[in-house]
Structure 1
Amino acid sequence: MKYDALFKRIKEKAKLVDEKMFELIPEKEPAVLYEAARHYPLAGGKRVRPFVVLTAAEAVGGDPSKALYPAVAIELIHNYSLVHDDIMDMDETRRGRPTVHKLWGINMAILAGDLLFSKAFEAISGADVDAEKKARILETIVRASNELCEGQAMDLEFEKRETVTIEEYMRMISGKTGALFEAAAKVGAIVGTENEEYIGSLARWGRNVGIAFQIWDDVLDLIADEKKLGKPVGSDIRKGKKTLIVAHFFERADERDRERFLRVFGKFAGDVRGRGIIEEDVKAEVMEAIELLKAYGSIDYAASYAKKLIREANESLKILPESEARKDLELLAEFIVERDH
């Protein structure tokens, strides 16, 4: 298959990342804190972001082994954000397991997230680069962390509003998912080269890929096979989640269709059975809402936009010399908008 060799290399690099990551978050006292902090890393995950760090370093002609600790730092930041996101969303499962706050309570989950965040900076300190590069890596990751928080804050504010604009959504998602992908690619490039054009091109690639990744997730939520997706189709509609698809619909729908959509949007968040609502009735109403999104071309719009971002991302890599690493980044970007779950 087209992506088999890529997936193999992702797994190989994930093993290297995991080895260093669990050195930083070992089994130690207080046991409850470290058990909670290790919960999501142990649950797996594809380690896509650290793969990007290592592969970006290689794509600019650098030594990927020198990027290993920065790659771990990026993965720790990602996991910290998941712990805190799940608390804010009150989600009960993640990667097929109970969430950290579900198992250990909110207070311990906050501490576990904080520990992962602090360990990320411990990882940066271990980077095998000179002091100037280490400072630049630190600056890049701090800036991405700031943007991640800003994006999450916007997303929380969106929950209080009936509608959001496309421009507002794009600003939010650029911070919430684009910033860390950009940091991953940029940090790898910083480790591997002094060439500012190369560093800039990889930063642009990462930002576009990160945004496209989330938009495609939102598309799959509405069109994917439920068994492959691992959750009910239309979960975002049930929760009332603002996405590019929904923003596009709100900007184009007439008043009657907006009202029809809003009667369903966010109505089925949480445990519907506890409210005496029949699941089959929920599915029927959610499917009606999805048909409205289709009728206005909103799902197609988002899918096309994600693919456009991927084309732009890979175009920015053409400045780099041809190599297996560059090809891996291009393939990874293409896979993001070809996956079916």
Structure 2
Amino acid sequence: MTDYNELFTRIRKLAGDVDKIILELVPEKEPKTLYDAARHYPLAGGKRVRPFVVLRATEAVGGDPEKALYPAAAVEFIHNYSLVHDDIMDMDELRRGRPTVHKVWGINMAILAGDLLFSKAFEAVAKAKVDPDKKARILEVLVKTSNELCEGQALDIEFETRDEVTVDEYLKMISGKTGALFDGSATIGAIVGTDNEEYIQALSKWGRNVGIAFQIWDDVLDLIADEKKLGKPVGSDIRKGKKTLIVSHFFQNASEDDKAEFLKVFGKYAGDAKGDALIHDERVKEEVERAIELLKKYGSIDYAAQYAKDLVKEANEALKVLPESEARRDLELLAEFLVEREF
């Protein structure tokens, strides 16, 4: 496996540069509860992968990454706003090892904190040191990205009420939920750095594919990862009834008897307050293991894993129109890491 340590070092360095912008735009100020809530996730860390994509995309097309710092912060604001609101919808209690915003400050303040982060994204773009024409195009991309995030989340919510979701339906949903923000990040970085439309479109394609692959690989890890590395019980998605590419493939290929058996477990503990504790119950673990065996029987896990890897291969192929550089290689390495990671 490739050694990614140098890549991680560069990600951490650039994250520090972006964090300065984030804390400049979301300082400690009144109303204190609102700003404390809005700062909660940014201060909790996070890898800043999407801002890294913005900055490296700018460099990969020959631009100045300093000009991309405010746009990079804008992307991170959009990401964090979506996390705050997603956690409310899912009623999750932990994020990055910390209590979620709504658990600390309540739902009403959490909604406002998410809204503030959303508005700060556009303030960041307004402060970007780029030509007005580029600034207008960056805003267009950010708006399109935000629209797609909402559409993807809406589809995800709709899917919760259905037993089956087709492969095409799942891919459309995840293209919005995770693909759009990676696409937007790479596209915005390219816009900052160049007027070359071929380069911009290549980075857009790279981002879309990588974002979709990132989520698919997350779904694979939920079923095959080492529990200690993963940081959560294996099979959590089955317990919660989460629709994934793996599950969609299974339903399109399984016998009616196997579908019926799978559905006895799938989503059985969704919304159960004791669900996280129950996952360690031996009987529940056996049920989940049997469900995973059914997914393996039809090659559904392997199908999804290969699908993610093929997306990354296609993504990095698109970057070959760019000149060779350390920045381009970093984007290629990041894409490869996202489908090789074990957590």
Q: Which bracket does the TM-score occupy, shorter chain normalised?
A: over 0.9
Question: Helix, strand or coil: the match of 1:62?
Answer: coil
CA distance 1:112–1:257, shift in 2 (3 Å): same
Contact 1:80/1:113 (<8 A) preserved? yes
CA distance 1:199–1:255, shift in 2 (3 Å): same
Q: Paired residue for 1:306? A: 308
For normalisation by structure 2, the TM-score amounts to 0.98
Contact 2:156/2:173 (<8 A) preserved? yes
**How far apart, CA to CA, are the structure 1 residues paired with 2:285 and 2:339?**
26
What 5-or-longer segments of structure 2 have no aligned partner?
A: none
Give the CA deviation at 1:275. Answer: 9.9
Structure 1 segments, 4+ long, off by >3 Å, are 273-278
Q: Pairwise mapping of residues 125-274 of structure 1 onto structure 2 (< 5 A)?
A: 125-269=126-270, 270-272=272-274
Letter in 1 for 2:327: A
**How far apart, CA to CA, are the structure 2 residues paired with 1:167 and 1:119?**
34
CA distance 1:306–1:273, shift in 2 (3 Å): closer
CA distance 1:69–1:292, shift in 2 (3 Å): same
Q: Paired residue for 1:19? A: 20
Contact 1:272/1:278 (<8 A) preserved? no
CA distance 1:191–1:11, shift in 2 (3 Å): same
Q: Paired residue for 1:60? A: 61
**How far apart, CA to CA, are the structure 1 residues paired with 2:45 and 2:276?**
31
Give the CA deviation at 1:82. Answer: 0.3
Letter in 2 for 1:258: K
Contact 1:129/1:191 (<8 A) preserved? yes
Question: Helix, strand or coil: the match of 2:206?
Answer: helix
Contact 1:273/1:279 (<8 A) preserved? no
Letter in 2 for 1:299: I
What 5-or-longer segments of structure 1 have no aligned partner?
A: none
Contact 2:265/2:288 (<8 A) preserved? yes
For normalisation by structure 1, the TM-score amounts to 0.98
Give the CA deviation at 1:273. Answer: 6.4
Listed one character per residue, the Cα deviations across residues 90-116 of structure 1 (whole Å, up to 9, x for unaligned) are 111111111111111111110000000
Contact 1:215/1:303 (<8 A) preserved? yes
Question: Helix, strand or coil: the match of 2:242?
Answer: coil
Contact 2:279/2:285 (<8 A) preserved? no
Q: Paired residue for 2:111? A: 110
**How far apart, CA to CA, are the structure 1 residues paired with 2:239 and 2:30?**
41
Letter in 1 for 2:206: W
Among 288, 291, 298, the alignment partner of 1:289 is 291
Give the CA deviation at 1:282. Answer: 1.4
**How far apart, CA to CA, are the structure 1 residues paired with 2:184 and 2:102?**
28
Contact 1:245/1:299 (<8 A) preserved? yes
Give the CA deviation at 1:271. Answer: 2.7
Letter in 1 for 2:17: L
Question: Helix, strand or coil: the match of 2:30?
Answer: coil
**How far apart, CA to CA, are the structure 2 residues paired with 1:19 and 1:306?**
34
CA-based RMSD of the aligned residues comes to: 1.3
Question: Helix, strand or coil: the match of 1:265?
Answer: coil
CA distance 1:305–1:112, shift in 2 (3 Å): same
**How far apart, CA to CA, are the structure 2 residues paired with 1:27 and 1:232?**
37
Give the CA deviation at 1:268. Answer: 1.6
Question: Helix, strand or coil: the match of 2:266?
Answer: coil
Listed one character per residue, the Cα deviations across residues 248-300 of structure 1 (whole Å, up to 9, x for unaligned) are 00001111100100000011223336998972221111111011001110000
Among 335, 338, 341, the alignment partner of 1:339 is 341
- Equivalent residue pairs, number: 341
